């Protein structure tokens, strides 16, 4: 079997349709002016020309997820005794996330450390992660706000992907990365891709050269703790922020959540929902005290988690993939890369990240 594959453009749609007969396939679809991931169907308008407006993290970490249902029953002979019956929701279908971008796949590796590489792995995230094959597409151009190469990523970065597809003149070059990805080469319509490897590399290198470098020529940013601790800096930088929280929902590496019990008289569900540190209620205590009452304190925590706290815990790994979504879609154009650039230690360059660390961590709100 060939090491790489090639799909002619005229067989592209049939290839995706073939995958959908074997698994649930999520693809980027154009809905109005928005590109969003949806389950594949022949009626949908597929769009691989630009990244989705929001990351596809919901495929593995749903925005609203029923963890289990519960039911209360009374003993007829002892009415004061109530029993609780729990039914877990662990039906995780075989899934293919198709057409995500390299920054999206890298985002899942940020999730993996607190959710799976720990003494107490999250069974819901872990179950979906293991059942999902991530097929990314190398970017055909850079996009406004992108800075992936400044956080050790890139428009053709393979971190977190099972296979990567690069569009070339006559079709699509397929490069498997894991055993899951190799299975794509056995699909109908996939040809030997060795003749297209050189063309694909040229395309990838050309796009990489386009990506902006907000931190200069340093390999990755290193935040000065002295500058980070100055509230005056944050008050000025976040004066225009609305604290709407859109950045956290669009981000491929934000993984905070809340858990609520939704129930009627005798039954209900325990639901996990996305939450975010940009919301006032996120740290609001029952006493009424809030340790982060202002928007600048909340955004300071958001940046700190990505560029200070997470790297300190996980061997210098930055919890930001540089996708640029929070910059492109912020209603008042708050630019996280500009803020981090202004927090750089003069003349300092951060140490390289450790990609294979297994340090245990909690999957609680970050």
- In the three-class reduction of DSSP (H, G, I as helix; E, B as strand; rest coil), residue 269 is classed as strand
Residue 183 belongs to some domain of the structure: yes
Nearest to 202 by CA among 249, 155, 146, 245: 155
Let me know: does 246 contact 240? Beta carbons within 8 Å. Answer: no
H or E segment to which residue 106 belongs: helix 102-115
Tens digit of each residue's pLDDT (9 = 90 or more) over 273-297: 999 999 999 999 999 999 999 999 9
Is residue 175 in a domain?
yes
Distance CA(58)–CA(37), nearest Å, equals 9
Is this model's pTM higher than 0.85 or not?
A: yes
pLDDT above 70 coverage of the chain, percent: 94
Does residue 222 surpass a pLDDT of 70?
yes
Average pLDDT of the segment spanning 50-75? 94
Would 360 be classed as within a structural domain? no
Closest CA to 306 of 252, 351, 270, 226: 252
In a domain, 56, yes or no: yes
- Which residue range(s) make up the domain with 314? 5-342
359 pLDDT above the threshold of 90: no
Task: Say if 265 falls within a structural domain.
Answer: yes
Q: Write out pLDDT tens, residues 292-317.
A: 999 999 999 999 999 999 999 999 99
**Alpha carbon of 275 to those of 117, 244, 280: distances in Å?**
22, 12, 11
DSSP 119: S
Report the domain count for the chain. Answer: 1
Strand ranges across the sheet with 24-31:
34-39, 24-31, 95-100, 132-137, 163-168, 171-176, 5-8, 191-192
Indicate if the pLDDT at residue 327 is higher than 50: yes
In a domain, 329, yes or no: yes
Q: Which residue has the higher pLDDT, 348 or 149?
A: 149
What are the tens digits of pLDDT across the range 74-122?
888 888 888 899 999 888 999 999 999 999 999 999 999 999 999 999 9
Q: Which residues pair with 263 in a beta bridge?
A: 268
Rounded distance between C-alpha atoms, residue 50 and residue 100, angstroms: 10
Which are the contacts of 75, defined by CB distance < 8 A and separation ≥ 6?
81, 82, 83
The pLDDT assigned to 294 comes to 95
Q: Is 363 inside a domain boundary?
A: no
The answer to whether residue 299 is domain-embedded is: yes
> pLDDT tens digits, residue range 328-357?
999 999 999 999 999 987 765 555 665 444
Look at residue 273 and give its three-state secondary structure: strand
Bridge partner residues of 30 (DSSP): 35
CA distance 7 to 2: 13
């Amino acid at each position: 079997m060939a090491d790489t594959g090639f799909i002619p453009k005229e067989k592209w749609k049939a290839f995706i349709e073939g995958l959908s007969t074997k698994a649930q396939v999520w693809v980027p679809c154009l809905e109005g002016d928005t590109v969003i991931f949806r389950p594949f169907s022949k009626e949908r308008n597929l769009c691989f020309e630009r990244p989705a407006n929001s990351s596809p993290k919901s495929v593995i970490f749903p925005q609203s997820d029923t963890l289990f249902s519960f039911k209360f029953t009374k003993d007829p002979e002892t009415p004061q005794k109530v029993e609780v019956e729990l039914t877990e929701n662990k039906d995780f279908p075989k899934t293919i996330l198709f057409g995500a971008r390299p920054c999206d796949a890298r985002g899942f590796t940020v999730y993996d450390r607190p959710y799976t590489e720990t003494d107490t792995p999250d069974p819901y995230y872990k179950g979906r992660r293991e059942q999902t094959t991530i097929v990314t597409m190398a970017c055909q151009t850079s996009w406004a706000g992108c800075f992936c190469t400044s956080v050790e990523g890139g428009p053709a970065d393979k971190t977190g992907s099972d296979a990567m597809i690069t569009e070339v003149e006559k079709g699509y070059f397929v490069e498997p990365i894991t055993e899951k990805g190799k299975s794509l080469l056995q699909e109908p319509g996939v040809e030997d891709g060795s003749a297209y490897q050189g063309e694909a590399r040229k395309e990838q290198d050309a796009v990489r050269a386009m990506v902006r470098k907000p931190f200069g020529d340093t390999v990755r940013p290193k935040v000065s703790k002295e500058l980070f601790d100055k509230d005056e800096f944050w008050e000025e930088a976040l004066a225009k922020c609305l604290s709407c929280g859109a950045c956290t929902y669009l981000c491929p590496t934000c993984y905070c959540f809340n858990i609520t019990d939704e129930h009627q008289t005798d039954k209900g569900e325990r639901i996990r929902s996305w939450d975010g540190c940009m919301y006032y209620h996120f740290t609001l205590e029952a006493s009424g005290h809030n340790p982060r009452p202002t928007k600048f304190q909340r955004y300071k925590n958001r940046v700190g988690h990505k560029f200070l706290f997470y790297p300190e815990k996980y061997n210098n790994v930055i919890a930001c993939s540089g996708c640029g979504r929070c910059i492109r879609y912020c209603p008042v154009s708050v630019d996280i890369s500009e803020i981090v650039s202004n927090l750089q230690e003069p003349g300092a360059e951060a140490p390289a990240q450790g990609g294979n660390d297994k340090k245990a961590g909690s999957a609680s709100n970050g």
